Structure 1
Amino acid sequence: MYLASGWRVGWVVRVLVAAAACALAASCGGPARSAPSARASHSATGSSPTSGVSPPAAEPSPPGPSGASLAPVPPGFVALPDVDPSILTDIRYATAHNFVGRPVAGYRQPRCLLARQAAEALHRVQTAALARGYSLKVYDCYRPQQAVDDFIRWAGDRDQRMKAEFYPEVDKSALFDEGYIGGPTAHSRGSTVDLTLVAAPHGDQPSYPPDRPLVACTAPAGQRFPDNSIDMGTGFDCFDPLAHTAAPGLSTVARDNRALLTRLMATGGFANYPKEWWHYTLGGEPFPRTYFDFPVE
C-alpha cells in the first residue's frame, strides 16, 4: 500500500479543487457532471496547494449490503468491470481482512474505480495475461484521501490486532519512519492499482473468517492466508523487506512470478514501485497532481 513520501501530519494542507478536477476530467470522456471531490497537496515538483483546509475525514463506514445500488462514477473515472469484467477483484479495504482489521473509511462498497485511461490500460494487460494462462486480480484501485487519513489515525492508536499477519517483524510505531505508511498516495490519483496474478481457470477465493488464527504474511504460501493468487513470496500488504519486488531470499517460483507480473504490467504502460511487488502506476496518468476524495460506493 505504498504512500508517497513527504506527507507529515500537522504540516500538509489538503483542499477541495473542484474546478481543476473538472477541467482535467472533461478530456477523459463520460457525461458532463460535477467534478469529483479532490484535495490538492504539494507535489514532487513543489507546486503550491490552493488555500483552504478540508474538514476531518469521516469515520469508517461498512460496505453496503449485497445488491445495494451503486453510486454513479464521477467523470473521468470508470468502474473496472465496465471496461473488463474478466478481471477478478478482492477489495480488501472494504472488508476486515487488511492491516487495520476493519473496513477503512471511504470504502462503502468492495468496488474497483479507476481513471478511464488506467482501466483501459489494465484491460490490455489482462488480454496479455489470459494469453499466458493467468488472470489479474486487483486488491485496491482508486483510494479516497479519507482512507489515507484513516490510516494515519490508526498509526497513532494502540490497535495492533492484525500485527501477527501484516507487520510481524515491524513495530507499529516505526511504520511511518520506515515508509510503510504516509501520504498522500498515488492511489488517490486514480491510476494506481495493487494486484496479483491468478492461474486461469481460477479457483475460488476463500472467505476470511474473523476468528481465523493469524499467520505471518512472510510465511510459505501453504501456511499463510489461502489467497488464490499464484505464489508471490508474501501476502498482499506485507510490511516487510521480503515484499520488495527484487528482495533477496525469495524462492525461484516467487521471483519468477513477480517478474512475470512486472512484464505483463509493462504491456499496459504500468511501472512497479520497487518496495511492493503488488503496486503499479500508469505512466502518463491523467491526474498526476490531484488527490481525489470521493468515496468508493
Structure 2
Amino acid sequence: MDLITTKPELFVDLLDIDTSIALDLKYFTGDNFVGESICGYLTETCLLTKPAALALQRVQHSLAEFGLGLKVFDAYRPQRSVDQFIAWCDQDGPCNTQERFFPTLQRPELFSKGYLIRHSSHTRGSTVDLTLIDLSSKVELDMGTEFDFFGPESWFDSSAVTAQARANRMLLQRVMVQHGFVPFHQEWWHFTLQDEPFPNQYFDFEIS
C-alpha cells in the first residue's frame, strides 16, 4: 500500500470550520486503550478532509436547535499510529487498560475480532469518532459505554445498555446519516463520510 506523507490542501483543522464543536482527542492526551499518547499526534488538532468537516458543521447546526452538540474523540489518524496499535496488540501479557476498555478480550483479539484493522478508514481523513453533549453544560450524553470500549456493549443496537443510551445512540446515528455519514455497527461513535474524497488513499503525515 502506497502512503502519502504530505498533507493535502483538502485537509483542514475542524475548529477552523466550526469553533463550537468540542474536542477531546484521546490519542493525543493518552486517555485511551493503549494508555499513552499515540505516535503521530503532536498537537491537539483535529484534522479532517474539508467535505467531512463541512458535513460535521451541518450536523452541529442541526443539533444546536435542540441544545445539543458534538464532541470529537478522533478524526484523521496517521498510518504510523495504526502501526503502533498493531505492535502493541502483538505484545504478550496483561496491561493496565484491559479492565477498562476490553475486559473480555486479549490484546490480539482486538484485530482478530474486527475492533481494530490494519488499514483504518481514519487514515483516509474522512472518518470521525464522536459523541453528543449538552451544549450548555458540555456534559456527554449517556451512550452506555465510553469511547473505545471493545465489546458487544458498544455495538449500535446492543440490548446490554439502558433504553436512554440506546435512544441517544439512535439520535446520533440518525443525524449523522442525514448529513452524509455511514455508521459502523460495532462502534456507536464511528462514522465515515459516504462521499469521502480519498476512498482508496491512505496518509501518514503527522498531526502538527
Equivalent residue number for residue 102 of structure 1: 36
Paired residue for 2:107, among 172, 175, 184?
Answer: 172
Deviation at 1:255, TM superposition (A): 0.5
Paired residue for 1:236, among 142, 147, 150?
Answer: 147
In the alignment of these two chains, the number of paired residues is 207
Could you say what secondary structure the match of 2:53 adopts?
Answer: helix
Percent identity of paired positions between Structure 1 and Structure 2: 43
Higher strand share: 2
Could you say what secondary structure the match of 2:167 adopts?
Answer: helix
| Gap regions ≥5 residues in structure 1 | 1-13, 18-35, 38-72, 204-227
Q: How does 1:140-155 map to 2 (within 5 A)?
A: 140-155=74-89
Could you say what secondary structure the match of 1:194 adopts?
Answer: strand
Q: How does 1:120-139 map to 2 (within 5 A)?
A: 120-139=54-73
Deviation at 1:279, TM superposition (A): 0.1
CA distance in 2, matches of 1:175, 1:153: 12
Deviation at 1:194, TM superposition (A): 0.1
Deviation at 1:237, TM superposition (A): 0.3
TM-score when scaled to structure 1? 0.67
TM-score when scaled to structure 2? 0.95
Preserved contact between residue 58 and residue 179 of structure 2 (Cα < 8 Å): yes
Say whether 1:266 aligns with 2:177.
Answer: yes
Deviations 1:103-151 (A, max 9, x none): 0010111211000000000000000011111010000000000000010
Paired residue for 2:120, among 185, 205, 209?
Answer: 185
Could you say what secondary structure the match of 2:128 adopts?
Answer: strand
CA distance in 1, matches of 2:74, 2:111: 21
Deviation at 1:266, TM superposition (A): 1.8
Preserved contact between residue 124 and residue 267 of structure 1 (Cα < 8 Å): no
Deviation at 1:182, TM superposition (A): 2.1
Deviations 1:7-45 (A, max 9, x none): xxxxxxx3345xxxxxxxxxxxxxxxxxx53xxxxxxxx
Equivalent residue number for residue 156 of structure 2: 245
Say whether 1:199 aligns with 2:186.
Answer: no
CA distance in 1, matches of 2:117, 2:88: 12
| Gap regions ≥5 residues in structure 2 | none
Deviation at 1:177, TM superposition (A): 1.4
CA distance in 2, matches of 1:96, 1:279: 19
Structure with the larger RCO, 1 or 2 (CA within 8 Å, 6+ apart): 2
Equivalent residue number for residue 4 of structure 1: none
* Structure 2 residue identity aligned to 1:144: P
Q: How does 1:284-295 map to 2 (within 5 A)?
A: 284-295=195-206
RMSD: 1.3
Deviations 1:176-206 (A, max 9, x none): 2111222200001110000000012134xxx
Equivalent residue number for residue 161 of structure 1: 96
Say whether 1:15 aligns with 2:2.
Answer: yes
